[in-house]
Amino acid sequence: MPFVNWFRRNLVVIAGLLTLGYLLLPNVVVTVFSFNKPKGRFNYQWQQFSTEAWKDPCGVAGMCGSLSLSLQIAFWATLGATVLGTMIAFALVRYRFRARGAVNSLIFLPMAMPEVVMAASLLTLFLNLGAQLGFWTVLIAHIMFCLSFVVTAVKARVMSMDPRLEQAAQDLYAGPAQTFLRVTLPIAAPGIAAGALLAFALSFDDFIITNFNAGSTVTFPMFVWGSAQRGTPVQINVIGTAMFLVAVLFVLTSMVISNRRNRQKA
Amino acid sequence: MKTTDNGSGDVRLSGISKTYGSFTAVHPLDLTVPQGSFFALLGASGCGKTTTLRMIAGLEEPSAGTVHLGDQDVTALPPYKRPVNTVFQSYALFPHLDIFENVAFGLRRRGIKSVKKQVEDMLELVQLGEQARKKPHQLSGGQQQRVAVARALINHPKVLLLDEPLGALDLKLRRQMQLELKRIQTEVGITFVHVTHDQEEAMTMADTVAVMNAGRVEQLGSPADLYENPQTTFVANFLGTSNLIEAEVDTKSGDDIVLKAGGGKLVLPEARCSAPTTAGGKVLVGVRPEKISLVHADAAGEIPENRNRITGRIAHSSFIGVSTQYVIDSQVCPEFEVYAQNIERDARLVPGADVVLHWSPAHTFGLDAAQDIDAGIQEEAAV
């Protein structure tokens, strides 16, 4: 029974690897098909290996423009939602004001509401206001739905923060601005960073709300959707793989940095 | 805010009080802490001692009254403009900064550029030179406590405030840190105001102790004075243990008051009675357990004259090494405690034995009988 014993001992590792495989399989498919040379317009069947698409990622008309637009929107939406969300989170944790309870629960509504409902009602709102649909309406919509996620992430961090730390800073001659910059912000930073990353990811790949409120503007997810009707260029897989690699690189770098820092301290 | 040496460094609280809505945390309070002294605010949790400390630090705004440091009225100053530093309960070390930067924090905020030498000297003083580049969570509780002290002391405050600084440490380490803090205080000569609920800690460290109860200072004095001459039942019970007997004033003879309790008579020096004594009035007579001698009823004849005596029966006895603690059932007081040193143990003194308790009238104190006789007992048991 050596195999059964081995299996028992490594059950957790095996389960972990299977789950990881389940999570990563779609990414593997995307990566593999970025090296495909399809016959016809659809990249759904493996034909032969080729690096053509990687050599010419912007070869498809309009794709890189939409990518750049999505990155811009994601950047500004992240910035806006993070700044506003952090302030809201601090207000909700630190201050007792009227309607605090109501704000606390209303802030979660966008997370719970079906996206398509929100998308349609936003469109109605913009049309009634006579707003020109495009970059700005998309940005406003994105900031709106990213806010709840940032507030949740930052609030958890601020709630676990000992208020005595700020009192200690004040006691040690730090005025309100210094206290915020030197103590409050650095300690809340992991929560703020988590919220910002979440906001970026949500904004970058949002389709439903964007599609309703973009007018004639085309973001990257909209471009992918649109081209999927007529054929899928390999370049979409190239961009997808590149995004995945950037994210992996980001995580690895931060792990290496924190590891090195810990080793220096010890 | 640099430490300036104009005038004295006394802390003066005048008519200071704090109310939250309808709840009064601190009743109007006048208190002067002399420069260079080690002052303890002692009381159970919720008695207003921490609120008082925070009003000195500026972290709590008083509802009325003023705070003076030396000649300076600091009542309206925010905490970061007061020449006062605090060692917080559970230390409040900055988790994102290493030990060096934690200690340097106050200097840097005051715009001092070359902090290296000062910080290193301060870390030497608290014996943490090796740990400078570690983060707070990598240190033990006792080390964190010393960092908190160093972080405050490096600023040379006029007053160092300590808010239950030893509460999170185990007993042995607490003893060690008590001596350590006392040593540092003697060395730097800064006024220390120490808040604690631990009566032993207050008595070990402080020159002067203010016992607080329900937002008021019950009594203020040196540890020995508070212990020997409590003025209220709360102080008598909260600091150590007291036996309190209800008695009636009978006559006065010279400097002594003669009281009737149960069937017997007790003598109390008038100077040691804090209550009004009119003939026929009630007084609470107190005596500490270690002041009492215990003899078997058969040997009652050997007791010298002029001693206060009470008869009873031993209910329990527990041997704790240096002493034996007896609980005596007596007519005048249901649970009379006696601590006897284990020098020559009388084998007859076992539970059920009839005994006579006697002590010198000079060790007797008198309290106002209008008070709650059990005040301060519960609080101590909860510690």
pLDDT at A163 over 90: no
Distances (CA, A) of A56 to A36, A50, A61, A70, A234: 14, 12, 11, 20, 10
Burial grade of A162 (CB within 10 A; 0-12, 13-18, 19 or more): middle
| Domain contains A259 | no
Q: What is the mean pLDDT of residues B125-144?
A: 89
What are the residues facing B193 on neighbouring strands?
A: B39, B161
Q: Is B86 helix (H, G, I), strand (E, B) or coil?
A: strand
Q: What is the mean pLDDT of residues A107-135?
A: 91
Cβ separation A173–B110 shorter than 8 A = yes
Q: What is the mean pLDDT of residues B45-49?
A: 89
The reply to whether A152 and A191 lie within a common domain is yes
- B198's CB contacts (< 8 A; 6+ apart) are B42, B166, B383
| Domain contains A242 | no
pLDDT band for B229, please (50, 70, 90 cuts). very high
Q: What is the mean pLDDT of residues A249-261?
A: 86
Q: pLDDT tens across B264-287, in order?
A: 889 999 888 888 777 788 899 999
Whole-number pLDDT of residue B4: 44
Q: What is the count of structural domains for chain A?
A: 2
Domain coordinates in residue numbering, chain B: 11-228, 235-382
| Domain contains A240 | no
Distances (CA, A) of A81 to A84, A148, A193, B52: 5, 9, 12, 42
| Domain contains A246 | no
Cβ separation A168–B79 shorter than 8 A = no
Q: What is the largest CA-CA distance in chain B?
A: 79
The reply to whether A30 and A147 lie within a common domain is no
Cβ separation B92–A170 shorter than 8 A = no
**Is the CB of residue B355 less than 8 Å from the CB of residue B312?**
yes
The reply to whether A159 and A210 lie within a common domain is yes
pLDDT at B3 over 60: no
Domain hosting residue A86, numbered range: 61-232
- A47's CB contacts (< 8 A; 6+ apart) are A36, A37, A38, A39
User: Does the CA dihedral B119-B121-B122-B128 come out positive or negative?
Assistant: positive
The 10 Å CB-count burial string (b at 16+, else e) for A25-42 is: eebeebbebbbbebeeee
Whole-number pLDDT of residue B383: 40
Chain B environment of A183 (Cβ under 8 Å)? 94
The reply to whether A78 and A195 lie within a common domain is yes
Query: Which of A39-43, A125-129, A248-252, B144-148 is predicted least confidently?
Result: A39-43
The reply to whether A148 and A91 lie within a common domain is yes
The DSSP code for B24 is: E
Length in residues, chain B: 383
Q: pLDDT tens across A4-27, in order?
A: 888 888 899 999 999 999 999 999
pTM greater than 0.90 (yes/no):
no
Query: Which of A259-263, B114-118, B150-154 is predicted least confidently?
Result: A259-263
- Domain B11-228 belongs to what architecture? 3-Layer(aba) Sandwich (3.40)
**Is the CB of residue B108 less than 8 Å from the CB of residue B115?**
yes
Whole-number pLDDT of residue A7: 87
Distance CA B66, CA B29 (A): 10
What is the CATH classification number for the domain harbouring A92?
1.10.3720.10
The reply to whether A22 and A75 lie within a common domain is no
| Domain contains A100 | yes
| Domain contains A83 | yes
Whole-number pLDDT of residue A57: 83
pLDDT band for A193, please (50, 70, 90 cuts). very high
Q: What ipTM was assigned to the predicted interfaces of this complex?
A: 0.79
The reply to whether A25 and A110 lie within a common domain is no
Distance CA B218, CA B100 (A): 42
- B176's CB contacts (< 8 A; 6+ apart) are B142
| Domain contains A257 | no
Chain A environment of B78 (Cβ under 8 Å)? 170, 175
Whole-number pLDDT of residue B1: 39
pLDDT band for A114, please (50, 70, 90 cuts). very high
pLDDT band for B378, please (50, 70, 90 cuts). low
Distance CA B70, CA B378 (A): 38
CATH class of the domain whose range is B235-382: mainly beta
The DSSP code for B60 is: S
Cβ separation B94–A168 shorter than 8 A = yes
pLDDT at B186 over 80: yes
Closest-CA residue of chain B to A188 = B96
